[in-house]
Structure 1
Amino acid sequence: MYKNVLQAIDGIEIYPLISFTIFFVFFLGLIVYVVLMDKKYVQVMSGIACEDETEETTIDGLRQ
């Protein structure tokens, strides 16, 4: 039943292409963001879980 309804809609074939394009661009952008991310920032963020809760750490890795 649904197959017949969707076939009757004019221009319906463009929606899967739009969806795929959005999906592809999002993940491509995410990969570019991760590759270009500042390595020092990643090191600081990875060490936050191991630190004492009373200490505050800035993005530069310096304690306040």
Structure 2
Amino acid sequence: MLKFIKGNLEAIDGVTIYPIISLLIFFIFFVALFWWVFTAKKEHINEVSQLPLDQNQENNEL
């Protein structure tokens, strides 16, 4: 099965660019994610982490 796929892909001109593009997208996404995680404000992280708990407390009060 792999030989069949590999043989078809080798016949396509310029197919070698797709793995490079996918690696770049993967790398850029995770670098941006790490940057956001390390630069996020602690107050925002704490507020978002308490959202499910706040919602449960509001429902119990009704």
User: Which interval holds the TM-score relative to the shorter structure?
Assistant: 0.7 to 0.9
Instruction: Give structure 2 stretches of 5+ with no counterpart.
Output: none
1:46 partnered with 2:49: yes
Structure 1 segments, 4+ long, off by >2 Å, are: 47-51
1:14 partnered with 2:17: yes
Using the size of structure 2 for normalisation, the TM-score is: 0.75
SS in 1 for 2:9: helix
| 1:20-39 matches, cutoff 5 A | 20-39=23-42
Counting aligned pairs with the same residue, the percent is 39
Higher relative contact order (CA 8 A, sep 6+): 1
RMSD (Å) for aligned C-alpha atoms: 1.3
Using the size of structure 1 for normalisation, the TM-score is: 0.73
Instruction: Give structure 1 stretches of 5+ with no counterpart.
Output: 55-64
